[in-house]
């Protein structure tokens, strides 16, 4: 009989990163994944900006002073962080590590710089997916059709898109978002396959040793 029953084998969670240029469909895909995939939750960031009406500590953000944020960063308590205009944003290490240990997966909606920091700090737990538009022309059409930004803002977003796309090779997977449902299904397939990887099965070696020893 196995010395360690299979019921004792546990799965370690993973960090799923989605990146894309603005208008690439990343946010829509992320919302669909959170609705359809049990055990997947969105990473809650630390920020130095003031709470907005209706925002709840620990649900929408962890709100901290600049001094508190800097202490966390200096102590290595951030998996990734960045300055965005006048405020700072980062991913706290503790809540993410707790989720992974409990076998829960964490979704990150971040850019290539955040993905690079996660790769530097926690590569074994990282699964990164880059969402590409079919073409820059299609991306510009999507940005225009949203009716959210004027021509100057769209031009800036297109310039930023070219820079973002140039980092595509830093990701584990690349999906060209020509059809939204197919793209969602593709990310789900990636997530489900990555969950089954041998390296994420804590205790599997002990279970197999027990089988071999009879």
Tens digits of pLDDT across the chain (214 residues): 547 899 999 999 999 999 999 889 999 999 999 999 999 999 999 999 999 999 999 999 999 999 999 999 999 999 999 998 799 999 999 999 999 999 999 999 999 999 999 999 999 999 999 999 999 999 999 899 887 888 898 999 899 999 999 999 999 999 999 999 999 999 999 999 999 999 999 999 999 999 998 7
Cα–Cα distance measured from residue 30 to residue 34, given in angstroms and rounded to the nearest whole number: 6
Total Cβ atoms within 10 A of residue 204: 17
Query: What b-and-e string marks burial along 82-106, b requiring 16 or more CB atoms within 10 Å of the CB?
Result: eeeeeebbbbbbebbeebbeeebbb
Rounded CA separation 129/206 (Å)? 32
User: Domains plus CATH for the chain?
Assistant: 6-43+104-213 (3.40.50.300)
Spatial distance between the Cα atoms of 81 and 73, rounded to a whole number of angstroms: 8
pLDDT at site 85: 78
So what's the pLDDT on residue 33? 98
Determine the pLDDT at residue 1: 52
pLDDT, tens only, 16-54: 999 999 889 999 999 999 999 999 999 999 999 999 999
């Amino acid at each position: 009989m196995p010395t360690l029953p299979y019921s004792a084998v546990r799965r370690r969670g993973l960090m799923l990163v989605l990146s894309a240029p603005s208008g690439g469909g990343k946010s829509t895909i992320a919302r669909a994944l959170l609705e359809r995939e049990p055990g997947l939750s969105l990473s809650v960031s630390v920020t130095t900006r003031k709470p907005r009406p209706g925002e709840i500590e620990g649900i929408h953000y962890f709100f901290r002073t600049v001094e508190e944020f800097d202490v966390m960063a200096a102590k290595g308590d951030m998996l990734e962080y960045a300055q965005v205009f006048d405020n700072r944003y980062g991913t706290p290490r503790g809540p993410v590590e707790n989720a992974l240990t409990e076998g829960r997966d964490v979704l990150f909606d971040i850019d290539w710089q955040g993905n690079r920091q996660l790769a530097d700090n926690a590569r074994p737990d990282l699964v990164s997916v880059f969402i590409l538009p079919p073409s820059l022309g299609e991306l510009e059409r999507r940005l225009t059709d949203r009716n959210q930004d004027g021509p100057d803002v769209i031009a800036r977003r297109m310039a930023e898109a070219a820079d973002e796309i140039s980092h595509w090779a830093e990701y584990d997977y690349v999906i060209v978002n020509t059809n939204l449902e197919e793209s969602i299904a593709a990310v789900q397939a990636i997530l489900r396959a990555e969950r089954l990887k041998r390296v994420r099965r804590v205790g599997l070696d002990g279970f197999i040793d027990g089988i071999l020893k009879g």
